Amino acid sequence: MWNQPFGKTDLESGGGARPLYPMMLESPELRWSFIRKVYIIIAFQLLATIAVGAVVVSVHPIALFFAGTGAGLALYIVLIFVPFITLCPLYYYYQKHPVNYLLLGIFTVSLAFVVGLTCAFTSGKVILESVILTTVVVVALTLYTFWAARRGHDFNFLGPFLFGVVLVLMVFAFIQILFPLGKLSVMIYGCLASIIFCGYIIYDTDNLIKRYSYDEYIWASVSLYLDVINLFLSLLSIFRAAES
């Protein structure tokens, strides 16, 4: 240490970059490299979602097949469950390349198909409004979380609260399916879901900065991708209910 030239820093020890949060013990360069990798994966996921969704929306026979036939409805139900089923093998193979990327691709494309079918029966104005608002909110909350983390704020306490509220939302959605409560209940549900997934964006971004290990880039990508998609769908339901 005493033999280092004055004013020089050891880049391998993390001295070449400012710590992301106080008392950071790991190398900031390694953490930034991990964060960039996660956001690159998420960018590809979102681009794939946009591409698949655009095909489903623009090619009308696809939406008509799913909406007007029994086989289409059955396939739609299967597609809803495919992302959740894919998460099971992804849990065991998230470190095994290229199986982890293959499973991540199946997860993304199947979920993108469901999003595309939802958008196929929604006006372009509502979709555009939801995309713009989702983009603004995600960017703003991400920047805020990095800013807050650097100043010593920690959002790990949000985990149990967000998990509990998601369970409430799931039960509420099940009740809504069995006993539809009308447009007002849909708007209330959409507002609550939007707030919850805003909280999840902060919580998962905070975990990305501090807690995910370098081998968990797949899980970090899945978590933040789901936050963005769920926020978009929540806002979409609000604007669609308001328009009807």
Alpha-carbon gap, residue 157 to 36, rounded angstroms: 25
Alpha-carbon gap, residue 150 to 4, rounded angstroms: 28
**Residue at token pair 């998962």:** 204
Residue 70 — very low, low, confident or very high, per pLDDT cuts 50/70/90?
Answer: confident
Average pLDDT value for residue range 46-73: 88
Residue 9 — very low, low, confident or very high, per pLDDT cuts 50/70/90?
Answer: very low
Contact between residue 50 and residue 110 where contact means Cβ atoms under 8 Å apart = no
Burial class (CB in 10 A: 0-12, 13-18, 19+), 119: buried
What is the pTM for the complete model shown?
Answer: 0.89
pLDDT at position 7 is 39
- Per DSSP, the three-state class of 180 is coil
| Cα within 13 Å of Cα(64), Cβ side | 4
Alpha-carbon gap, residue 1 to 96, rounded angstroms: 39
Long-range contacts of 163-171 (CB under 8 A, 24+ apart): 165/192, 165/196, 166/196, 169/193, 169/196
Burial class (CB in 10 A: 0-12, 13-18, 19+), 224: buried
10-24 tens-digit pLDDT = 434 444 578 888 888
Q: Domain extents for the chain?
A: 26-243
167-185 tens-digit pLDDT = 888 888 788 777 777 778 8
Alpha-carbon gap, residue 19 to 3, rounded angstroms: 24
Kindly tell me if the per-residue pLDDT of 64 is higher than 90: no
**Residue at token pair 């328009």:** 243
pLDDT at position 60 is 85
| Cα within 13 Å of Cα(63), Cβ side | 17
120-153 tens-digit pLDDT = 888 889 999 999 999 999 999 999 999 999 999 9
